[in-house]
Structure 1
Amino acid sequence: MKDILIITSYFPPEIGAASNRIFHLAEGLQKRDYKVSVITPLPNYPTGKIFEDYKGKFKHTSIENNITIHRLWIYATISKNKFLRLIAMVSYSFSLLWFFMFNKIPKTVIVQSPPLLVAFTSMFFLRSKNRKLILNVSDLWPIAGLELGAFKKNFSYRLLEKIERFNYKKAGLIFGQSEEILTHIKSIFPNKETVLYRNFPDFCAPEIKANNKTNGKVKLVYAGLLGIAQGVYKLCESLDYGAIELHIYGSGAEQKKIKALIKSYPNLPIFFHGRISREELHKVLMQYDVAIIPLLNRIYGSVPSKIFEYAKLGLPILYFGGGEGENIVSKYNLGWVAKAGDYDFLNLVISSINKDMISLKLKEEIKAIAIKNFDFNKQLDALIINL
């Protein structure tokens, strides 16, 4: 049995794509006879507060599904203040250093990036000729931060670029969640060994049933993080509600603004349902017609995991984010795409969708495409060859 360590900033009971991806990776490796351990912060995302069961603890170690999980102290925050966010990353980095000094580290280590500073801490202090460091790159920072308006091209940005390059250089192997990520890495280190590792879901898709409840309107649903990058608040402001209703599940920085908007305009067919578990979400999503996946701006390297999850549920997708995600939705006929940032065009696309188009047959076809092309276990088996 081969030992393998995964270092990540997100892990269940936290929610979100990053948490789900790392959990399924760890669980998949454990089922394939790897002895898996995980280092992660005390759970705090997306609330920015340590979860109740872990408050007052500096470290918590548990064995869950035969996976050893070490949860380390972090200064938790969701503040927009860059200094406080930096303190949060530094605090977890110090906890990692403390762990590295007093614990035996396996020869194979998978490091999640971003956050860049956390990945740098791991790559710098664990680098050695007889240890294989694998970098799992899910987003391209600092490029993504620049496109989101979080960074400017100054000294700090150039420093982050150097950290990014150091992380790539020290990695013996790099997993990338998109072709754009791998293209970017290859442009810096042409000979670096890379593997495309999509964020495919690992769950048994429920049976699709005909939905007879209808008021004639297309029921549009958004489920996920209500952050700045997703731009759900602007989406609520910009949609033409003549033939649709919008249902929202999730939590995040824009939650209060969205709830205030709904309160100010009670006649708008916008319904906020809050955050629910992933298992429950899969059940409730089946009652909707179309799932919308928006990004406020096109982000190079980003491919939202929702594409693969919704497709496996047989839920038609309206993609509004551009880039590689748009290409995937078009290539596999998973639904509709609208030009990123063009809300007039988005409303035009929505107006072209009617209830008759969203048939049981269409949903079954989308589900079949997902099962054939987005298979988590086949992807993981191919990945293990490189470990």
Structure 2
Amino acid sequence: MKILVFSQYFWPESFRINEVVESLIDVGCEVTVLTGQPNYPHGKTFEGYRALQVSTETHPRGYVIHRVPLLPRGKSNTLGLIFNYLSFVVSSAIVGPFVLRGQKFDLIFVCGMSPFTQSVSAIWLGKLKSAKVVIWVQDLWPESLEASGFVKNKTVLRSVAAVVSWIYRSCDLLLVQSKGFRSSVEKMSGATPIEYHPNPGELAFNQHTSHEQAPSVALGKGFNVVFAGNMGTVQALDKVLDAAEMLLEHNAINIVLIGSGSLTTWIETEIKRRNLTNVTMPGRFPVEAMPGILAQASALLVSLCRDPIISKTIPSKVQVYLAAGKPIIASLDGEGAAVVEESGAGVSCPAEDAAALAQGILKLYGLSPQQLELLGKQGVAYYQEHFEPNMLATRLRDHFATVLSNRARSATEDAAN
């Protein structure tokens, strides 16, 4: 089965699609990748690459990566982000057929993160290559554009909705990363079939053993509540700081914020201004380092802002936290909170409720080591059943096989007629 993975973001950028490709190879798929020049998250094209370059390289795992020109997104610049999005759509549609000339694919697999409009080029390539197109919906457009405040103009939002509806109706299968996405996608997808396919956990946790080298950072003594990931407005970290302020009198409780993002500087300033001695920011670390860091945590924190669209998503860090085998505090609404509650891995509280978050932390702090260990074990068991990467790769390959068998069946019926 020859698969073209189509994604604006890819290695050496740190995205889950990198490991999905490796897992697909492990279950017998022959994979080629079409992507842009790496520039995320800092907005500058990575060293060794050029923004307007057309290039081909071989990944250390042996598969081929084709790169088309991509204008870097810049730093917190709306216009720069728009040009970044549009440049990949245009270059993948025009340059993509050139770099893929002479190559045949059974199926094109689109990792449908923002910008979702990249899928237009994938559908065009599908027609040129006579390949089926499967789109893995990671973001709801135009809803996420409106929720983030990135686009407020109703006419623009309606136009985006029309394009997204055309995309949904033009592909052969839609996969949604959250069950909460289904109703929104169904309204716009016509007869295109929809299946639930969650984001897998990280392979680093499958490979992690107790015999690995010392962790990249050593956490201090006490009850360490660790947040790991992007630090932006969506993560509602202002409420996390409010909760930390409420917990200052509990000297043993520490809030550890690992990662970086658009609010990093603001958070650092707030910690100093409010004298939050119980909050530390060790920095950002590679995926490979995270198992060793999270293993030191007493509990793991996931938080999101209150929004009806965002509540439909399952933050990918939920899978990571489950795999880490530590109790989880979920300060969010909807699907993500439901997973934590259903798994029995921890506690949840409403999004952006600092007081409830502080109480949730205190609830876990008050448990015995045996009770905390049980929560972690229940999380790992749930992870193995629902999010284990190799299991999900096999399921994804089966989805592909179903799409291709439907094409073969249709061809046979056409020949018979």
Common fold by TM > 0.5: yes
Alignment map for 1:268-287 (pairs within 5 Å): 268-287=277-296
Tell me, what secondary structure is at the counterpart of 2:230? coil
Which one is further off, 363-372 or 340-349?
363-372
Deviation at 1:29, TM superposition (A): 1.9
Residue of structure 2 equivalent to 1:54:
49
Q: Distance in 1 between matches of 2:208 and 2:46?
A: 30
Aligned 8 A contact 1:148 1:297 in 2: no
Tell me, what secondary structure is at the counterpart of 1:386? helix
Q: Does 1:235 align with 2:240?
A: yes
Residue of structure 1 equivalent to 2:403:
none
Residue of structure 2 equivalent to 1:146:
146
Aligned 8 A contact 1:127 1:133 in 2: no
Change (3 A) 1:205 1:322: farther
Aligned 8 A contact 1:294 1:321 in 2: yes
Residue of structure 2 equivalent to 1:294:
303
Per-residue CA distance 1:57-86 (angstroms, 9 max, x = gap): 613321111211112221112444432211
Residue of structure 2 equivalent to 1:351:
362
Residue of structure 1 equivalent to 2:397:
384
Q: Distance in 2 between matches of 1:302 and 1:208?
A: 32
Change (3 A) 1:237 1:50: farther
Tell me, what secondary structure is at the counterpart of 1:150? coil
Per-residue CA distance 1:269-290 (angstroms, 9 max, x = gap): 1111111111112101111111
> Which amino acid in the other structure matches residue 258 of structure 1?
I
Which one is further off, 122-131 or 52-61?
122-131
Residue of structure 2 equivalent to 1:11:
10
Deviation at 1:330, TM superposition (A): 0.6
Residue of structure 1 equivalent to 2:110:
111
Aligned 8 A contact 2:97 2:125 in 1: no
Which one is further off, 88-97 or 127-136?
127-136
Deviation at 1:24, TM superposition (A): 2.1
Which one is further off, 162-171 or 228-237?
228-237
Per-residue CA distance 1:335-366 (angstroms, 9 max, x = gap): 11011122222222223221544533432333
Alignment map for 1:215-226 (pairs within 5 Å): 215=221, 217-226=222-231
Deviation at 1:207, TM superposition (A): 5.4
Residue of structure 2 equivalent to 1:194:
194
Q: Distance in 2 between matches of 1:162 and 1:222?
A: 37
Alignment map for 1:245-256 (pairs within 5 Å): 245-256=254-265
Aligned 8 A contact 1:9 1:41 in 2: yes
RMSD: 2.4
- Divergent runs of 4+, >6 A: none
Residue of structure 1 equivalent to 2:342:
331
Aligned 8 A contact 2:23 2:389 in 1: no
Q: Does 1:204 align with 2:206?
A: yes
Deviation at 1:23, TM superposition (A): 1.5
Residue of structure 2 equivalent to 1:318:
329
Q: Distance in 1 between matches of 2:12 and 2:236?
A: 25
Aligned 8 A contact 2:331 2:350 in 1: yes
- Unaligned ranges ≥5, structure 2: 212-218, 401-417
Aligned 8 A contact 1:224 1:250 in 2: yes
Of 383, 392, 412, the match for 1:370: 383
Q: Distance in 2 between matches of 1:283 and 1:306?
A: 15
Tell me, what secondary structure is at the counterpart of 2:358? helix
Residue of structure 2 equivalent to 1:34:
29
Aligned 8 A contact 2:200 2:387 in 1: yes
Larger radius of gyration: 2
TM normalised by structure 2 equals 0.84
Tell me, what secondary structure is at the counterpart of 1:188? coil
Tell me, what secondary structure is at the counterpart of 2:224? strand
- Unaligned ranges ≥5, structure 1: none
Which one is further off, 79-88 or 221-230?
79-88
> Which amino acid in the other structure matches residue 228 of structure 1?
T
Which one is further off, 177-186 or 322-331?
177-186
Which one is further off, 173-182 or 200-209?
200-209
> Which amino acid in the other structure matches residue 220 of structure 1?
V
Which one is further off, 89-98 or 333-342?
89-98
Q: Distance in 1 between matches of 2:129 and 2:39?
A: 35
Deviation at 1:126, TM superposition (A): 3.5
Tell me, what secondary structure is at the counterpart of 1:291? strand
Per-residue CA distance 1:89-130 (angstroms, 9 max, x = gap): 111122212323313352410112231221223224533694
> Which amino acid in the other structure matches residue 292 of structure 1?
L
Normalized per residue, the structure richer in helix is: 2
Q: Distance in 1 between matches of 2:194 and 2:325?
A: 31
Aligned 8 A contact 1:123 1:171 in 2: yes
TM normalised by structure 1 equals 0.90
Q: Distance in 2 between matches of 1:300 and 1:248?
A: 22
Aligned 8 A contact 1:139 1:301 in 2: no
Which one is further off, 40-49 or 30-39?
30-39
Which one is further off, 199-208 or 281-290?
199-208
Residue of structure 1 equivalent to 2:93:
97
Tell me, what secondary structure is at the counterpart of 2:364? coil
Tell me, what secondary structure is at the counterpart of 1:6? strand
> Which amino acid in the other structure matches residue 81 of structure 2?
R
Residue of structure 2 equivalent to 1:71:
67
